[in-house]
Amino acid sequence: MRPLAANMMQEAPEKRPTMNEVVEAFDRLRASLSTWTLRSRFVHRKDSSILGFFRALRHTYRTAEYILKRKPAIPTPSSARRSSTRPLSLHLSQ
């Protein structure tokens, strides 16, 4: 993600990728990761062991719930919305 974010924040606007290029790069990145990696919990370096235990417990419960409900690790828009020609701002407002 860091290279993609850095590429998007270049000072010169003409060097920044288009939204289509960003979406394609994100899709490639997402496809390269396993479902378990996408569902893994981000652990902060300074988490105490007690706090970390409760956060891990909550994360495990929530992950099991999502798996049972068949929710994807990262939701994807339907192909109809993605292929439309409406501006991105209209997609985001829905």
Query: SS3 for the chain, per residue?
Result: CHHHHHHHCCCCHHHCCCHHHHHHHHHHHHHCCCHHHHHCCCCCCCCCHHHHHHHHHHHHHHHHHHHHCCCCCCCCCCHHHHCCCCCHHHHHCC
Give the separation between CA 72 and CA 49, rounded to whole angstroms.
Answer: 29
The pTM score is: 0.58
* Domain assignment of residue 71, yes or no: yes
* Domain assignment of residue 47, yes or no: yes
Write the pLDDT tens digit of every residue in 55-91: 889 989 999 998 999 888 887 766 544 554 555 554 4
The whole-number average pLDDT for the span 17-38 is 90
* Domain assignment of residue 18, yes or no: yes
Total number of domains constituting the chain: 1
* Domain assignment of residue 94, yes or no: no
* Domain assignment of residue 88, yes or no: no
Domain that holds residue 33: 2-79
* Domain assignment of residue 64, yes or no: yes
Distance of CA 85 to the CA centre of its chain: 23
What proportion of the chain, given as a percentage, has pLDDT over 70? 81
Give the separation between CA 83 and CA 2, rounded to whole angstroms.
Answer: 27
* Domain assignment of residue 35, yes or no: yes
Would you say residue 42 has pLDDT above 90?
A: no
